Chain A
Amino acid sequence: MSKLPPAIEIEDLWFSFDKTPILKEVGFVLDQGSFMAILGPNGGGKTTLLRLILGILKPDKGTIRVLGLKPEEARNSLGYVPQNTDINLSFPISVFDLVLTGRLSRSRVGRRYTSDDKEKVNTILEKMGMFEYRHFPVGQLSGGQRQRIFIARALATEPSILFLDEPTASVDPEFEVGLYEFLEELNREVTIVVITHDVGVISRYVKSVACVNRTLVFHGGGKITEEMIDMAYHCPVDLVAHGIPHRVLPEHEE
């Protein structure tokens, strides 16, 4: 069996925005089938890194290969769930129509949706428990429901790699656990990359971790170590590992 190209391969990546360096010397290789968490403080460059991998931004220096291809060539295999799902709440669009846009791609511009497209969307909506809401206006859903719809849209693209940017930022804890269990199941077929600053819940599901704060430290193993967290945050955090809360690092001195 020939070896699969890595899901993501980054070498000596530099990126700055208006001369402010955002990322420097970033490099790692992520195998297909992995479940990676990208941790780090706000403003540390997590979302920028994601946008570079998706080909929305171009690096100043360095190379990015996604599934062995340039990011813009790999696009059709990438699913993406953005951080903000509360954009455009007044937009006239139903759940079904939104998820259906996941079936669009460059090669089929101007073509109608097929019955196959619609069936796939229905199947995904059922899987996400949102089938009954398919004719509902997206703007009237709750935060958690909207999150599900955006995941459904990403799944409708039938991705090889699924990226989620802070998927649990605006949802209840119950949904959070449910989401990660769902992703764990999905991970049998799809490589998953999740951006989060919530180290706790995710630690029992991930297979590898990248800590991003200007630079990137990659850990292939699933264990989140104290050192990684310290590096990622430069400040103490509450770590809830395997359901047992315990404080790892001391609070800031007043």
Chain B
Amino acid sequence: MMAANPLKQLRLGERFASMPRWARWTVMLVGLAFAFYLPRLNILPFAYIRTDLGDRGADWASVLFLVAIYMIVAVGLNVVIGMAGLLDLGYVGFYALGAYSVALFGSPSSPVTEWMVRKFGFEEGWAVPFVACIPIAIALTMAAGVVLGAPTLRLRGDYLAIVTMGFGEIIRITARNADPITNGAAGVLGVPGPPGPGTGTNEYFNQSEPERWYWLALCVLIVLIFLARRLENSRVGRAWLAIREDEDAAAVMGVPAFKFKLWAFAIGAALGAIAGLLFGAKQAYVEPTGFALNLSFLFVAMVVIGGSGNLFGVLLGAFLITYLPERFRDLPILSEYIDPVAWRPFAFGVALVLVMILRPQGLVPNRRRAMELEVRKAEAEEAAVDV
């Protein structure tokens, strides 16, 4: 059953990797340039991918910003689920912690900064500068990841998923109920944005220029992808893979399984924090309902649909799941009869079921993850015969 064309046997990724160096760089640079150009895209056949063509469409650059944010989330969650093989259903907790860190420390009107002003006698309206909020957010969230991971990472599989799900909810409910710290359901206003050329009322990163936010998020995303790739092809990536394949054998070969799993959690948490931080800064307003549990499921769906373990796959998953609902917010003729937004969960459910039936390994699968799935399927079938 050999295919006539040997190239046919290579997956797209392998074919890309076997291209000469200059060709790979050209493809990547052209792709990047296109990504940066996207918000201004207005040439007609291509402009159909914009989301703001109809009357009810969402602002195109804002959608792109959200796509970039969710891509950061997907890269982070891919470290946890795809590389380390830990099913984390509470990822929104880290995302919320990142957003709340920048809101509570960076906003002059948050209870935390007000307390600090009273306590240390800073002048009125003082707040932690945005740049200093970044390490605070990352450190706090990584600490939360370690605190969550240390007792729970001894659990395997489904049990871990349930505990992490609880964690996500705990963060949201705490944010809603701890009025003296988080302002509760009212949320925090005045979240600072990154510093830029403009000042005062005319800041570079402001509400009316979403494309600047998109470019910022895209730059952050590129750096994070670069770092994630470093992890994948290193002793850390190998250790995660070994733990996924046979944890006990890995331990006997000197792999400190618990330590590496904890690192996966901490790194995932840090990436979630960065995404949440950007999100909170762009909104300039953080409130607890934005971090509901279903967002966690959405994040996991991005990774699983895209192809867990494959960086390109999870990016595609994040793009599709964020972009498609916005693109079809307004359907040309159907909109007169039905409300596409109301049908969104239905479409999402159908898509999820279809992917699980037709392509359980994800749209762009990781070779090894796909193989693991095959083996497990065979084992399940054998087990069924035994019963």
Say whether A and B bind each other: no
